[in-house]
Structure 1
Amino acid sequence: MGSSSSKAARKLPKEKPSWAGSRTPLKPDGAQEIRRPRPLAFENKTDAVEADAKDPQFMFKLNQLGPVRVDHHMRSVRPTDYVQQMHRSRLQSEMEASPSHSTRNRLLASSLSELLESRKTVKSQAELQALAEQYHIDVTKLDELAKFVNTPSIDESTIVKSTNQEGEETLTMMARWVDPKLET
């Protein structure tokens, strides 16, 4: 930590130490003694290997824990059941929202988006009523829903064109909330 100027400069020795470059002397007959390392593996298990493999503390702890207790009242969870249930639920939801099935106040997300987009251009309460009937939804439910949900609309006054260094043009704009202007 800190700058390098605050640290002491590293100084190397100028002379070789006495032990540098020295070798062990050869035996008088010229043969060097070869040290064999202890073998890492054995062909047969020796008593030393068996003693090393035993772990008395581990066995003591296992015996303290005792046998495993299994709760047989648990219900197994199969992912396929969950996926099948989710698929059935979605199919039911789509059937209820399909145009052939006349369930009121239920729509697919795409139909809801179309409804909210069409709602922006409505001029009178009668047109709003007709639009609601076309999508099989009550006007009160549509008004209640439209307080919290809407489709994005572009605020034309906030469009900004910009070009980056590679020459690619980008458009940036703000969204705004649009409610229909109904005649009273």
Structure 2
Amino acid sequence: MGSSPSKAVRTLPKEKSSWAGSRTPFKQDSAQEIRRPRPLAFENKTDAVEADAKDPQFMSKLSQLGPVRVDHHMRSVRPADYVQQMYRSRLQSEVEALPSHSTQNRLLASSLSELLESRKTVKSQAELQALAGQYHIDVTKLDELAKFINTPSIDESTIVRSKNQDGEETLTMMASLSVFY
């Protein structure tokens, strides 16, 4: 396709044809007709064209609307301010999420799940205070939270192992919720 042997060679005629370079005779009269300027549109406007250009319905609708009212008390929107505020908000969230700078009583969902799971094994008030201190959360907030939210516990007696036709093992178990007051 791209190589030269597969392409057909184009040959040009060696002699000039009899009609090459010949032209039809030029008439002077036709040249003057072509060069004469054409009349512009406004030169030919008639009363019918003028009447058609006027739109009485459009003018009546415009007069019904009345003049445009501009509210000069509108606050201008500055996209740069919005973007800067969004950037500051995200930066603050990232700083608060850093492990070295943890905020009191704020946890990620995964940390909250770990905390609530660890709370189930606590036996004394001292252990509870130590656990709350480890996660930077107040004991009173932890107690309030535990009234409404808890992680599911697995009932060990309900664990069932089964294999399907492909030999894949599935594990099924019942969850039980412990309520602490």
TM-score, length basis structure 2: 0.52
1:132 aligns with 2:123: no
- The alpha carbon displacement at 1:149 in A equals 2.6
1:149 aligns with 2:149: yes
SS at match of 2:126: helix
Asked if the contact 1:120/1:179 (under 8 Å) is kept, the reply is: no
Tell me the amino acid that sits aligned with residue 147 of structure 2: K
Asked if the contact 1:122/1:180 (under 8 Å) is kept, the reply is: no
- The alpha carbon displacement at 1:60 in A equals 0.6
Structure 2 segments unaligned to the other structure (5+ residues): 1-40
SS at match of 1:92: helix
Q: Which moved more, 1:102-111 or 1:127-136?
A: 102-111
SS at match of 1:147: helix
- The alpha carbon displacement at 1:130 in A equals 1.0
Equivalence for 2:123: 123
Relative to structure 1, is the Cα distance of residues 179 and 78 closer, same or farther in structure 2, using a 3 angstrom cutoff? farther
1:60 aligns with 2:60: yes
Tell me the amino acid that sits aligned with residue 89 of structure 2: S
Tell me the amino acid that sits aligned with residue 129 of structure 2: Q
Alpha-carbon distance between aligned partners in 1 of 2:82 and 2:148, rounded to the nearest angstrom: 32
The RMSD of aligned alpha carbons is 4.1
Equivalence for 1:71: 71
Alpha-carbon distance between aligned partners in 2 of 1:145 and 1:83, rounded to the nearest angstrom: 35
Q: Where do 1:16-95 residues align within 5 Å?
A: 54-78=54-78, 81-95=81-95
- The alpha carbon displacement at 1:50 in A equals 6.6
Alpha-carbon distance between aligned partners in 1 of 2:176 and 2:110, rounded to the nearest angstrom: 20
1:110 aligns with 2:146: no
Alpha-carbon distance between aligned partners in 1 of 2:170 and 2:61, rounded to the nearest angstrom: 68
- The alpha carbon displacement at 1:59 in A equals 1.6
Relative to structure 1, is the Cα distance of residues 50 and 97 closer, same or farther in structure 2, using a 3 angstrom cutoff? same
- The alpha carbon displacement at 1:51 in A equals 5.2
Alpha-carbon distance between aligned partners in 2 of 1:129 and 1:80, rounded to the nearest angstrom: 46
Alpha-carbon distance between aligned partners in 1 of 2:78 and 2:57, rounded to the nearest angstrom: 39
Tell me the amino acid that sits aligned with residue 117 of structure 1: E
Asked if the contact 1:98/1:107 (under 8 Å) is kept, the reply is: no
Alpha-carbon distance between aligned partners in 2 of 1:138 and 1:54, rounded to the nearest angstrom: 79
SS at match of 1:136: coil
Alpha-carbon distance between aligned partners in 2 of 1:63 and 1:113, rounded to the nearest angstrom: 68
Alpha-carbon distance between aligned partners in 1 of 2:49 and 2:171, rounded to the nearest angstrom: 75
Relative to structure 1, is the Cα distance of residues 88 and 150 closer, same or farther in structure 2, using a 3 angstrom cutoff? farther
Which has the bigger relative contact order, CA under 8 A and spacing at least 6?
Answer: 1
Asked if the contact 2:147/2:180 (under 8 Å) is kept, the reply is: no
Q: Larger % of helix: which?
A: 2
- The alpha carbon displacement at 1:160 in A equals 11
